[in-house]
Each structure stands twice: as C-alpha cells, then as structure tokens.
A and B are shown apart, each in its own frame.
Chain A
Amino acid sequence: MSAATSATETADTAAVRRAIASTARPPRPGRLATALTFGWRGMLKVKHVPEQLLDVTVTPVMFLLMFTYLFGGAIAGSTSAYLDYTLPGLLVMSVLFTTVYSGVSLNTDLTKGVVDRFRSLPIWRPAPLLGSLLGDSVRYVIAGTVIIVVGVALGYRPDAGVAGAVASLALVVVFSFGLSWFFCVLGLLLRSPNAVMNAGFMGIFPLTFLSNVFVDPATLPGPLQAFVDVNPISVLATACRSLMDGTPDGVAIGVSLAVAAGLAAVFLPLTTRLYRSR
C-alpha cells in the first residue's frame, strides 16, 4: 500500500471516529411525528419516481380521450354530452388505479429489506403504514386533479363548479384510503411487486368496466345490470356525478363512505397483523 493511500485511509478513520463518538441518543419522537416522517418519505418517492404517477394518470387520460371521441358520439349522441357523463367516472377510475400502488410500494419495501430496518427501530409500529398512506394521498390528489384538468380543457364544466369538483375529489380520496388497505394486504401476501400489480389490476380493471363509469347501465341485460348497480364503483361514480352536478345524492355518498369504512375495518387490522408477523 502506498504512503498516499494509507494517509487518506487514516484521515477517513479519524473522521469516522469523530462521527461515531459525537452522538447522544435523543428522546424518542412522538407517534404523529413518526407517521409524518414516513409521510415525507412517501412524498420524496413521488418526486423521485414520477413514472409511477405517470402510469396511473396516463391510462385514464387515454381512456378519457378514446372513449369521448371514439365512442362518445355513439353512446351519448355527442362527445360533449358523453364527457359530461363519463368524467366523474373517470375521476373514480383514475384515483382507484393509484391505490394499487400502495400495495406495490409496500411489497417493494418488503422485498428490498427496508421494512426490516424500520422494524429494528424503536418506533411506533403502525407508523410506516400510516405514513406511506399520507404520502399516497398526495398521489391520489394529483391523479384526480390531472383528470379533472384534462376534462375541463376538453370542455367539461361541472354545474357545481370548483366546489363540486373538490367535493368529488375529496370523496374519491376518502374511498381510496379504505380501498388501499386491501392492496396493502395483497402487498404483504404476494411475492413480488409485479405480482401485486398484476393481481391488483386484474381485480380493479373488470370492476371498473362492469360499473356505470363508461355506460349507462339502463342498456345492459338484466343480470349484468343488477351487478353493475350494486358495484361499489358504480355507487361511488354516481355519488361523484351528483356532487359535480350540485345535486348531492345522499344515499350514494353514504354508501360510498360506508364501503370505505368497511374496507378499512376489515383490511387495516389484517394489514397491521401481517406486517407485524412478516
């Protein structure tokens, strides 16, 4: 080893020793502070991995353009009439697609070993899960905003104006909170992030199509119509339409919130249990 190399090694060692020696353990942070720190981590991911956001926003925008201009005239008589009908539904679709990524990113953390680092820290156990959900909510809002803005650019004008759009977006985000716990369970059970993504979209894709997001169920055959009517995605889309139109449908809104609460009640405890035992 040359003299120069050993000199730098020594310098490194001295700096390392200083760095090691200089710490006293601070008091443990509070639960909320810990969860917020994980929320900050979630936002950093939105910043560093914008592709994820692109994936989930481009698909609904594509559907918006395709359905409006290709099928809109045939389905609703004119593209503008169809845009009025389908945009609230596409808002639902866009944000719900984003929830799949809650499960995907949880699974990624597990496979990469980051979760083990968090679990070896003296922190409030559910903080990483709650925190990442906070980060996810930013993603939901962005995904929803993109679709509304594109809709407005294409000529969509909600009767209830900005207030209607904000109310719909808020409802969809709340619903997504509930649904995302289901994908967290998938994220904890399946082996790879890709498996979570495939399983997630395999579920959410048909459910979105078998709803009133794209077509008025009145034209559907009986049994299918029965299914579409009880599909929670239909109910949520109906609730959003009513908010956008300025004629809030109390039942649809209530049912949407109840479904979200039910999903959270079942899958949140399951998620924390699986997370702990993993």
Chain B
Amino acid sequence: MTVHAPLAIEATGLVKTYGDTTAVAGIDLAVPAGVVYGVLGPNGAGKTTTIRMLATLIRPDAGTARVLGHDVVTEADAVREQVSLTGQLASVDEELTGRENLVLLGRLLGLRRASARARADELLEAFGIAAAAGKLVKHYSGGMRRRLDIAASIVVTPRLMFLDEPTTGLDPRSRNHVWEIARALVAEGTTILLCTQYLEEADQLADGIAVIDRGRVIAEGTPGQLKASVGTGALHVRLLDAARRPEAAALLERAVGDAVLEADPAALSAQCTDSERAAVGLAELARAGIGLADFSLGQPSLDEVFLALTGHPAVDAPTGEPPTTTLEEQSS
C-alpha cells in the first residue's frame, strides 16, 4: 500500500431529512482504500441512512459523496459496479434456495450460465453452506443466512463492501466466522465500511472509526486514539464471590485508584496507569483472601468511550441534551 492511498469514500456535508426528521445532519467521511472503516453509533444515529446514500439507494438532500472516485448521484451506475451491500440493507430472496440466489446474482452481474453455477458452488463450499445449497433460504439458521448474505455480495468481488450490522443476533462462533470473512476480504484488497452498534466489533475489525450520533460525526480516529481520548486504562477484576465486592472496592481504591462497580455484580474496575500498581492491587486482594475468577489490565472499552463522547450509553435510546463535546475537547 502506498503512502498516498486514494480515498475509497469521500463525503462532504451529507444531509438527508424525512419530513420533520433529520436522519443525517451533515456527515463528512474520508475513508482510505484497503481498510476496514467502522461507523459506530446507536440505533437511529443515521448510520444506515448514510450507507444508503453512499450505496446510491437514496439521493442525499445536500452534500456530495464520491465512492471510489465516482459521484454517487451523477455516476451512480459506476459506483454500483464496484460496491456491494450486506447485512440489514440488502437481503437475499427467502423464497429461493441458497444456490439459486447466488446463480441469480451471478447472472445479473453478467456471468454466463455455467460460470454462474460454478461460482455459486465455489462460494457455497467456501462459506460452509454447501450442505444447505438446495434448501429454501427461509429455513436457514441465522449464521448460515448471514454467510449467504455475504457470499451474495462477493459473487463478483467488490472493491468496496458496505457491511451493515453483520453480526447482529449471531452466536459467538458465527460472529467470529463473519469477522474472519471480513478480514479475508480486506487482505484481498477490498475496502469495508462497517456499520455497527457493537463497540467490540469495531474494536476487533476497524482500522479507523467514526462515531456517529444524531446524524453527525462526533469523533474520529483509530480505536486506540478514541480510547486514549477518554483517559487512562483500568484494572478489571471479577470476583469469585460477588458478596465481597464492597470490600474489594475499598481495597483497590487504597492500593490502585478510583474504583468503579461494573454491571456484572461480581466485577469491578479501578483506574490504573501502570502495571506495577495493578500488581500491588492484585496482591492486596490475594492477602485479604478475596478470590478472583478473572482479571485484566486494559484500555477503556469503546463503551466507555461512547458514554464519554455522547453523554449517553451506546445501546440506549438517545435522551437529554444534544452532545456538544468533540474529540479535541475530550483529549485536552
């Protein structure tokens, strides 16, 4: 990859309103080619509307966007030739079999009948759905369905792929599988725009992240930068006996730093900048006879980042004042 990698997506001031509702209130994005770029935000933040504009499904009311060098309004077909959609956005046909879906898309993309069939079989095999190739998609499990969705998006390998909430509702194994596929795509040179409300997912996959809230980008950076913007790391511990948490909290306050009780009744964390202090804290807990199920020293989670940036948790419906904080203010 060269230093002057061209931008895969370049959006300026995108706006979309529906009646009185402003879904997207002026979004700027600059996504380099060849990476996974995460768009992170709660439900209703404007993620899907943004992707639908970038993928030429709807026209922006204001602003411009170029995808792989082509304008999404005036050169829509040129954009469509190089991108594909997956996830909540574009589905497969439930009343056809998995194989028929892939053959259909192959034919629509210009493959001849025999190549479309061969390609379908190759994808079904690679994605582990060959055994269900002849079954109607409506009888597929969630994980199989999602893999077929992705297979349908790469019948002809796209240069840019929009992945919208690709793992919502999947079990951990299927989720990992989807992540593997996404990584393989990027390794082959496809750029991925990943929309998600799961902070872990963005953390796992994305090289860069834009945090969106109420139709605006409120922060941008690498996962590391975003975490650094909310301050120091923390020692996370999980106790064997939840009843001893108050005792452990008091102990860690003294030995390490400000302690926070987590949602898990047996877990807590303490602000901590260096591993030596953390080791002291762990030793103190051991001396007091407080057994640990688990401990880790880590940077703040993206959950904490989101809360710090927006003033409300990522998964809750937006409430209260509109956010006024920016990343710059946060990090100063």
Contact = CB atoms under 8 A, between A and B. Distances in A.
A40 B57 CA distance: 25
B119 interface: yes
Contacts of A7: none
Nearest to A116: B90
B49 to A, nearest CB: 13
Interface in B5-21: none
Contact of A20 (B94, B112, B136, B190): B190
Interface string A17-37: 111111101111100011001
Contacts of A45: 95-96
Nearest to A29: B110
Interface residues of B, number: 52
B327 interface: no
A48 B180 contact: no
B110 A28 contact: yes
Nearest to A128: B108
Given A49-B95, A112-B94, A122-B77, A20 B154 contact: yes
A33 B78 CA distance: 20
Contact of A13 (B111, B115, B180): B180
B95 A116 contact: no
Contact of A22 (B96, B97, B122): B122
Nearest to B162: A120
B83 interface: yes
B206 interface: no
A25 B188 contact: no
B89 A113 contact: yes
Interface string B95-108: 11100100011011
Contact of A44 (B56, B77, B100, B156): B100
A13 B179 CA distance: 10
Contacts of A33: 107
Given A9-B180, A20-B184, A114 B100 contact: no
B91 A114 contact: yes
Contacts of B126: 12, 15-16, 18-19
B240 interface: no
Interface of B: 55-57, 77-78, 80-81, 83-85, 88-97, 100, 104-105, 107-112, 115, 119, 122-123, 125-128, 136, 152, 154-157, 176-177, 180-181, 184-185, 187-188, 190
